[in-house]
Structure 1
């Protein structure tokens, strides 16, 4: 090989490695996995995944990125009878879901 061919090949390999590294870091290989809590009111919950356990709370719909095996709960913090729903979404598809309209109701999913 000539020097110019070696330089071109080296540059090409470098570009491919940088793109691969960037895709891996940014998660561009797929949409991933998330827990979504849907409620038009205030709520609190717990999410356990491969990264550990965390408490969450909020008002309205919120989503949380998760990894691996997941167990999540959410409960209304008011006595409203509106529906609260919790979902595990993987690759843009709902794979687990639970809902209730009970006042102070609690929902959970595992997946």
Structure 2
């Protein structure tokens, strides 16, 4: 038997409330959640997406601030810590032709396209150690000689020519 502290009525021992005055005799057991956070699924998703976005932004800032400038990337640091400055245009393409032509020249990831008539020179934006490729196509049906030279720091390092009407010349060079 459980005596009610408020009215003194004798209740049976399994009673949660006093039969006489409805006073709470025992606290009802509180259910505990099993595992997990104490927030809804939507809040969890928003929190995770927010963390991913912040991590991505931090990574972007660190990555962009750690990349060398174009001028710095053309320099070579030797084993004894000497900096050898690279030329900003170490390669030049020389096209010798009396007709109309179209070209693609540069590194495989960045090709410059140009169309012209007659002789021309094209400076390439690449480092001296980059692989360079050049393709020049005749835009006319002339059998005149098309000569293409790849010049590195003033020296011809690759040369090719064609007399075929509508012919194409391809050069590839890696130092």
The two structures have a TM-score, normalised by structure 2, of 0.44
Distance 1:77 1:29 in 2: 32
What count of residue pairs does the alignment treat as equivalent?
86
**Alignment partner for residue 122 of structure 2, among 64, 69, 79?**
64
Decide which structure has greater strand share.
Answer: 1
Structure 2 residue 109 is matched with structure 1 residue 109:
no
**Alignment partner for residue 34 of structure 1, among 83, 89, 92?**
92
Higher relative CO (Cα under 8 Å, sequence separation at least 6) belongs to 1
The two structures have a TM-score, normalised by structure 1, of 0.67
Decide which structure has greater helix share.
Answer: 1
Does the Cα contact within 8 Å between 1:31 and 1:92 map onto a contact in 2?
Answer: no
Does the Cα contact within 8 Å between 2:92 and 2:152 map onto a contact in 1?
Answer: yes
Q: Offset at 1:35?
A: 1.2
Q: Secondary structure at the match of 1:40?
A: coil
**Alignment partner for residue 99 of structure 1, among 154, 157, 161?**
161
Q: Offset at 1:48?
A: 2.8
Distance 1:47 1:84 in 2: 16
Q: Please, which runs of 5 or more residues in structure 1 have no aligned partner?
A: 1-23
Spell out structure 1 runs of 4+ moving beyond 4 A.
27-31
Q: Which is greater in Rg? A: 2
Provide the residue aligned with 2:112 in structure 1. Answer: 54
- Give the alignment's Cα RMSD to 1 decimal: 2.4
Does the Cα contact within 8 Å between 2:97 and 2:145 map onto a contact in 1?
Answer: yes
Q: Offset at 1:47?
A: 1.2
Q: Offset at 1:30?
A: 9.2
Q: Please, which runs of 5 or more residues in structure 2 have no aligned partner?
A: 1-74, 76-84
Q: 1:102 to 1:37 in 2, by over 3 A?
A: same
